[in-house]
Amino acid sequence: MQRSDASSATDVPSGITVPGTPMMDSTAEKSQSESPQKDAPTTKSKSSDYTYDGVTGWRRFRVLRPCRGMYYDIRRRLPYYLSDITDAFTYRTFASTVRMYFVNLLPALAYTLDMQRRTDGFYSVNESLFASALAAMVFSTVSAQPLTIVGITGLISLFNYTIYDIIKIYDVTLYARFMAWTAIWAAIWHWLVAVWNLCDYMRYVTDFSSETFGMYVGIIYMIKGVEELVSLFDSFGSVDGYLSCVIAILYFGTVYALEKIGSGVLAKPWARGLLADYAYPIATIFWVGFAHIPGTIKRANISTLPISRAFYPTQPRSWLIDFWTLDVKWVFVAMPFGFLVMLLFYYDHNVSSLTAQAKQYPLKKPGGFHWDFFLLGCTTFVSGIIGIPLPNGLVPQAPVHTDSLTVFETDLQIISTEEGEGNEIRRPIVRATGVVEQRVSHFLMGLGIIGTMTGPLLIVLHTMPRAIFCGVFFVVGWGSIESNGITKKLLFLMSERRFVQQAEPLLQVRRRKIWLYLMCQIVGVILPVAISQTIAAIGFPVLVCVLIPFRWKTMPRWFTVKELEIMDDLTANNEVVLASFGGAPKLPGSSTADEYGLERRFSERKTGVPRQRAGSHGR
Amino acid sequence: MQRSDASSATDVPSGITVPGTPMMDSTAEKSQSESPQKDAPTTKSKSSDYTYDGVTGWRRFRVLRPCRGMYYDIRRRLPYYLSDITDAFTYRTFASTVRMYFVNLLPALAYTLDMQRRTDGFYSVNESLFASALAAMVFSTVSAQPLTIVGITGLISLFNYTIYDIIKIYDVTLYARFMAWTAIWAAIWHWLVAVWNLCDYMRYVTDFSSETFGMYVGIIYMIKGVEELVSLFDSFGSVDGYLSCVIAILYFGTVYALEKIGSGVLAKPWARGLLADYAYPIATIFWVGFAHIPGTIKRANISTLPISRAFYPTQPRSWLIDFWTLDVKWVFVAMPFGFLVMLLFYYDHNVSSLTAQAKQYPLKKPGGFHWDFFLLGCTTFVSGIIGIPLPNGLVPQAPVHTDSLTVFETDLQIISTEEGEGNEIRRPIVRATGVVEQRVSHFLMGLGIIGTMTGPLLIVLHTMPRAIFCGVFFVVGWGSIESNGITKKLLFLMSERRFVQQAEPLLQVRRRKIWLYLMCQIVGVILPVAISQTIAAIGFPVLVCVLIPFRWKTMPRWFTVKELEIMDDLTANNEVVLASFGGAPKLPGSSTADEYGLERRFSERKTGVPRQRAGSHGR
């Protein structure tokens, strides 16, 4: 019953025979039988207690019933804690650990390069590793949603150096203490949001805003990649610059090609699976090696990741920031900045949890957004007072973790045709048969990062050309742009009409309306991108958050419910996830959550579930 | 009746409805009605007079009936001469002229860079332009097959500098005269082959050897691109080298992407058509401009194409080589070299004519291989005594000319399915509805090259970075590798079996046999590639030509006729082309030419005719 809507989404139309593993559901149930299915029914009836729908009187106000969300989050999730460890003994946990180590670490170091350059070295490699390790330890052990990988994002890097630019106008020595107070305020705001159960509103997040946000992030990353390359010309000269361009482009091409092959139908499923799982490690090891080939390339002496003494802050200071010495005036100036950080994390962290538990994954274990947001407040506080970048949920990488833990089966779909081509057409259909839901891969990845903080491994990091990180920006950024719903709708509008399948749901919406919908999204992308190059960049969380009420208040006036049902979709509609928000959102018109996502269901029927940065694990 | 086998190849299976332009045949006939259809029947009955099949007595020996092939070639083709001019007044002629100017000129200059470096400047830009212009003027006006573009190939460049390496061992001052004599001998061999009607044996060329040759050429070009980039590091330093790598890679990516988009279903057909037609000019203009952006890039002062005084030989000499002063000893040493040149051209030139008139193009005007080979002897002679590279048919570019003149229609194929996806699947099918067969585009392109030889346009050429030409090597080389039958068979063998359409003809052949067939081809690729880096490189024409008898004498012992019918195919099977060879070849077993090409017909039914370097002209 938990899987009711998932199974309707992958409904096999009659007339299409699916050989291979027709026992999909029973397989999934079998693996589930090892988890505490016995607890589930009781937990479930309890978890549905957390709701405000249909409640009257003072009880309907969330702020008047503090900590209720967190209480239910813990109560709902705690019974699964043991299985979070026992479920982990599969190969997928290992593959996931390796993949996430690279997918988490490489972008974090990429943003660090950017941050380091723009904060005159206040935040550097040691700080970023520390922040990633701290977050991984906390969230892998005590969070309610261990699938959500928490770490350094490009947006916090943007935030940090924008504040640096602002503080520099007054007195640059204030920066460390000011950032500490920003974090302290942000932590307080986090705790308030968690206590007042305000994460509930995240259930209204639809693809409209998460696609817009994803596109914004993708574009920012592409820009960062180029900026970083340009800065190499300025700092290290033309030879370094051009060689770095070559490596960055080819690194991007390598990861992209490996992931494409991994998601194709070439070779055996296990071989494809290896390529998809280890695309990052393979490409990274190859291109780091390339940069050290003796001769012309070695002589170019390409610039590498700068490191400093292990376990010590990069700048000559103690880990604890003396935040108590800051002027009271500045303490209060930090308050709105803290609010903006909270707003960014409110959207960014919760959306990454949502996408890590998105509809295409057959998840069984419940979510817990309030509790995790409270925890995020704690890590924010600690990170602030020791002067490391504030970690939060990684939007583009979050679903990669779940993806790497998902057991995909590539089934064969045979479509009988009336005549021609041997009376059939064969097509691969990807099916997610189950997710290895556990917290061990997250924990091991954290241990890996702690290991990386030690001297010997720091020296290994030091051999990595900066160019690799520019390539990482391109891979992550382009991945976010290419798979984005905005891109897909644009391609639909540009396609020649006669080649579009008639069953395509978008054909039911007038082109004018699709354009209008897209223009709303594109404006939502352009505005934050435009200000990201200025000091106003710290305001971008407001722009991002405004999209949610805009979607529910303004857009229904311009579109019919039917049109929105086709073009938009809830970002999470898994019942076990929605439980943490107090149930499915109340939608306008007569529509229910199940009526959304026509477009997705159409595409899933054709090619199966979409995969994150490709990865046909085959088994 | 001329089109009988073409129409069977594009036979629409019943049950598949093709809306759009079902009147394809009648359209093609209509355009044909402007050409001298009235002459065709008489010409045709005459042209079938040229055959040796079923002839007995001394008449069956080709060498005893000199000039017979040339006589019939002219007699067959002459009636079409007027229409070769009058048929040209269409937009396609213009588009073809522009496209061929770039597709001919850019690779020619690329090979020239290579040749210039390795012959210490004996052959340079002026020589290559002269050779291209000469060939274009002669072949566009008096050849029997004006679709075959004749110019500078990478193989003649390989030949020229290998001989240079050999002569250098003795006395480098002999080089010019020795090359002249090589060309004179080659010309004599050409004339003998033409007079003795020996081109007839080209009708036995199948995809087995032309794919092998195409793969060999593709690999050589990729190697040349890399070599050229490496040489930039040595000659101009690291900044130049790395910047050139960046430009070469991105130039390749640009042309490749433009051609991919041009062959897709995005945008209107006319817009796609423009992209496909002008991919080279667009990419070239963009990246030449990029290399001159003021600032860091301009300061890198990237190395560009070297030019010298217009219309003069690059080295201080008169155009006419004093070949009569060469020692008699050396004159006779040149004879076997001349024979090897002839062997190379025998294969290379005739195969380019074959592929320019390949089965997928609905050609109406007859071929004339004997006459063209005689003409090639003439241009070889002239080029030899004035010391310019010997032009011949361009293998990878030859079909591009016909392709650029072909009117393609992208039809919609609707496959009714029993159920699911709105009961239908829509697929674009590309159909060649007619070819603008004329000699004006070839002539105009030649005029363009003559224009390029003048001072002002030489200066424009001088702005082009050498890196562009490395990119050209990659584009041409990769185009030859990607679309190659060897690549396709390898991909088939690597594909997971269950996703292969059951109607796929290759499934009827045992995998072991496909591997054996591929191994024969791969050995045929590896051997010439291996020797191409040594002085033995001049022997490669022998290796290439040996593949034809190997295919007909040895391979039938290893494969059944049925297996060869599936895996192999005649390179040309158009009746009007085969007429010049004395009709279709006598094939072993009971099979006829029509029984070959199962694989091709299967793929044509699925996606339509293959296009050369992409180009969905839509209209």
pLDDT given for residue B5 in this prediction: 35
Mapping DSSP to helix (H, G, I), strand (E, B) and coil, where does residue A239 land?
helix
Lookup result for tokens 């694989």? B599
Determine the residue of chain A that is closest to B13 in CA distance. A420
Residue A617: pLDDT band with limits 50, 70, 90: very low
pLDDT given for residue B8 in this prediction: 35
Name the amino acid, one letter, at B348.
Answer: D
Query: What is the mean predicted confidence (pLDDT) over A258-276?
Result: 83
DSSP secondary structure letters along B101-144 = HHHHHHHHHHHHHHHHHHTTTSS-HHHHHHHHHHHHHHHHHH-S
Please tell me the pTM assigned to this model: 0.85
CA B540/CA B619 separation, integer angstroms = 42
* Residue A11: pLDDT over 50: no
pLDDT given for residue A1 in this prediction: 31
Lookup result for tokens 């208040």? A553
Tens of pLDDT along A404-457?
898 888 788 777 776 555 567 787 888 888 899 999 999 999 999 999 999 899
Say whether A496 and B296 touch across the interface (CB within 8 A): no
Q: Which of A322-326, A394-398, A532-536, B65-69 has the lowest mean pLDDT?
A: A394-398
Q: Are B424 and B441 in contact (CB under 8 A)?
A: no
Query: What is the mean predicted confidence (pLDDT) over A130-159?
Result: 93
Tens of pLDDT along B49-102?
788 877 888 888 888 888 899 999 999 999 999 999 999 999 999 999 998 999
Query: What is the mean predicted confidence (pLDDT) over A367-390?
Result: 95
Angle B91-118/B125-142 helices, nearest 10 degrees? Answer: 140
Class of residue B328 by CB neighbours under 10 A (exposed 0-12, middle 13-18, buried 19+): exposed
Distances (CA, A) of A373 to A139, B213, B256: 11, 64, 47
Q: Are B303 and B466 in contact (CB under 8 A)?
A: yes
Query: What is the mean predicted confidence (pLDDT) over B388-392?
Result: 95
Structure tokens at A277: 């799982």
B14, B421, B607, best to mutate vs chain A, most A CBs in 10 Å: B421
Which candidate, B364, B353, B368, B362, places its Cα nearest to that of B581? Answer: B368
* Residue B573: pLDDT over 90: no
Distances (CA, A) of B224 to B220, B229, B244, B392, B473: 6, 9, 14, 19, 7
* Residue B595: pLDDT over 80: no
Tens of pLDDT along B517-559?
999 999 999 999 998 888 888 888 899 889 999 998 899 899 9
Phi, psi of B121 (to 5 degrees): 85, 10
pLDDT given for residue B422 in this prediction: 60
Among A20, A416, A501, beta carbon nearest to B426: A501
Q: What is the ipTM of this complex?
A: 0.82
Tell me the shortest Cα–Cα distance from B11 to chain A, in angstroms: 11
Residue B587: pLDDT band with limits 50, 70, 90: low
pLDDT given for residue A74 in this prediction: 92
Query: What is the mean predicted confidence (pLDDT) over B475-483?
Result: 88
CA B549/CA B551 separation, integer angstroms = 5
Say whether A415 and B424 touch across the interface (CB within 8 A): no
* Residue A6: pLDDT over 70: no
Helix (H) / strand (E) element for A408: namely strand A406-416
- How many of the other CB atoms lie within 10 Å of CB of B235? 12
pLDDT given for residue A131 in this prediction: 96
Average pLDDT, chain A: 84
Question: Could you tell me how many residues make up chain B?
Answer: 619
Say whether A420 and B16 touch across the interface (CB within 8 A): yes
Which candidate, B428, B483, B418, places its Cα nearest to that of B614? Answer: B483
CA A401/CA A390 separation, integer angstroms = 20
DSSP secondary structure letters along B257-316 = HHHHHHTSSBS-HHHHHHHHHTHHHHHHHHHHHHTT-TTHHHHT---B----STTS-SSS
Which candidate, A568, A575, A453, A591, places its Cα nearest to that of A521? Answer: A568
Q: In A291-392, which residue ranges form alpha helices assigned H by DSSP?
A: 296-299, 328-356, 369-386
Residue ranges with strand state E in A126-244:
150-151
Q: Are B203 and B257 in contact (CB under 8 A)?
A: no
Among B15, B269, B427, beta carbon nearest to A419: B15
CB-based contacts of B237, cutoff 8 Å, min separation 6: none
CA B263/CA B271 separation, integer angstroms = 11
Tens of pLDDT along B236-288?
988 999 999 999 999 999 999 998 888 777 888 888 888 888 999 999 999 99
Tell me the shortest Cα–Cα distance from B583 to chain A, in angstroms: 32
Helix (H), strand (E), coil (C) string for A216-233: HHHHHHHHHHHHHHHHHH
Q: Which of A31-45, A379-393, B535-549 has the lowest mean pLDDT?
A: A31-45
Lookup result for tokens 């034809």? B548
pLDDT given for residue B594 in this prediction: 63
pLDDT given for residue B337 in this prediction: 94
Say whether A13 and B420 touch across the interface (CB within 8 A): yes
Which candidate, B487, B480, B472, B477, places its Cα nearest to that of B254? Answer: B472
Structure tokens at B96: 């073809």
* Residue A504: pLDDT over 50: yes
* Residue B34: pLDDT over 60: no
CB-based contacts of B277, cutoff 8 Å, min separation 6: B95, B98, B99, B262, B404, B615, B617
* Residue A349: pLDDT over 90: yes
pLDDT given for residue A20 in this prediction: 39
Residue A587: pLDDT band with limits 50, 70, 90: low
Please provide the distance, in angstroms rounded to a whole number, between the alpha carbons at the two ends of chain A: 25
Residue B615: pLDDT band with limits 50, 70, 90: very low
Residue B7: pLDDT band with limits 50, 70, 90: very low
Average pLDDT, chain B: 84
Among B419, B491, B498, beta carbon nearest to A13: B419
pLDDT given for residue A17 in this prediction: 39
CA A587/CA A593 separation, integer angstroms = 7
Mapping DSSP to helix (H, G, I), strand (E, B) and coil, where does residue B325 land?
helix
- How many of the other CB atoms lie within 10 Å of CB of A170? 12
Say whether A15 and B420 touch across the interface (CB within 8 A): yes
B236, B249, B417, B601, best to mutate vs chain A, most A CBs in 10 Å: B417
* Residue A384: pLDDT over 50: yes
Which candidate, B525, B527, B547, B526, places its Cα nearest to that of B536? Answer: B527
CA A537/CA B113 separation, integer angstroms = 50
Lookup result for tokens 């960046």? B246
* Residue A44: pLDDT over 50: no
Lookup result for tokens 């574009």? A219
Say whether A605 and B422 touch across the interface (CB within 8 A): no
Say whether B241 and A296 touch across the interface (CB within 8 A): yes
Among B420, B605, B606, beta carbon nearest to A415: B420
* Residue B417: pLDDT over 90: no
Q: Which residue has the higher pLDDT, A302 or B619?
A: A302
Query: What is the mean predicted confidence (pLDDT) over A153-159?
Result: 90
Say whether A420 and B499 touch across the interface (CB within 8 A): no
Class of residue A318 by CB neighbours under 10 A (exposed 0-12, middle 13-18, buried 19+): exposed
Which candidate, A465, A103, A396, A455, places its Cα nearest to that of A249? Answer: A465
pLDDT given for residue A489 in this prediction: 92
pLDDT given for residue A144 in this prediction: 93
CA B580/CA B74 separation, integer angstroms = 10
* Residue A514: pLDDT over 90: yes
Q: Which residue has the higher pLDDT, B570 or A111?
A: A111
How many residue pairs bridge chain A and chain B with CB atoms within 8 Å of each other?
Answer: 145
* Residue B133: pLDDT over 50: yes
* Residue B23: pLDDT over 70: no
Taken in order A88, A89, A94, A96, the sign of the CA dihedral is negative
Tell me the shortest Cα–Cα distance from A114 to chain B, in angstroms: 21
Residue B578: pLDDT band with limits 50, 70, 90: confident
Helix (H), strand (E), coil (C) string for B464-530: CEHHHHHHHHHHHHHHHHHCCHHHHHHHHHHECHHHCCCCCHHHHCCHHHHHHHHHHHHHHHHHHHH
Among B241, B269, B502, beta carbon nearest to A422: B502
Query: What is the mean predicted confidence (pLDDT) over A167-191?
Result: 95
Helix (H) / strand (E) element for A70: namely helix A68-77
* Residue A46: pLDDT over 60: no
Query: What is the mean predicted confidence (pLDDT) over A330-337?
Result: 94
pLDDT given for residue B39 in this prediction: 43
Instruction: Give percent above pLDDT 90 in chain A.
Output: 49
Residues of chain B contacting residue A419, judged by C-beta atoms under 8 Å apart: 13-16
pLDDT given for residue B497 in this prediction: 83
* Residue B605: pLDDT over 70: no
Among B266, B299, B415, beta carbon nearest to A420: B415
Instruction: Give percent above pLDDT 70 in chain A.
Output: 86
Please provide the distance, in angstroms rounded to a whole number, between the alpha carbons at the two ends of chain B: 26
Distances (CA, A) of A377 to A134, A157, B80: 13, 18, 84
Tell me the shortest Cα–Cα distance from A427 to chain B, in angstroms: 6
Which candidate, B569, B548, B559, places its Cα nearest to that of B589? Answer: B559
Lookup result for tokens 């707003």? A343
* Residue A616: pLDDT over 50: no
* Residue A300: pLDDT over 60: yes
pLDDT given for residue B249 in this prediction: 95
Output DSSP code: residue A551: I
pLDDT given for residue B617 in this prediction: 27
Tell me the shortest Cα–Cα distance from B486 to chain A, in angstroms: 16
CA B350/CA A94 separation, integer angstroms = 58
Query: What is the mean predicted confidence (pLDDT) over B125-129?
Result: 94
User: Cα-Cα-Cα-Cα dihedral of A174, A179, A180, A181, to 10°?
Assistant: 90
Distances (CA, A) of A345 to A199, A331, A349: 11, 21, 5
Residue B25: pLDDT band with limits 50, 70, 90: very low
User: Cα-Cα-Cα-Cα dihedral of B167, B172, B174, B176, to 10°?
Assistant: 90
CA angle A46, A48, A49 (to 5 degrees): 70
Angle B91-118/B207-262 helices, nearest 10 degrees? Answer: 120
pLDDT given for residue A212 in this prediction: 92
- How many of the other CB atoms lie within 10 Å of CB of A6? 20
Tens of pLDDT along A561-579?
888 888 888 877 778 888 8
Determine the residue of chain A that is closest to B230 in CA distance. A296
pLDDT given for residue B163 in this prediction: 94
Mapping DSSP to helix (H, G, I), strand (E, B) and coil, where does residue A467 land?
helix
- CA B257 vs. chain centroid, Å, equals 22
Say whether B496 and A267 touch across the interface (CB within 8 A): yes
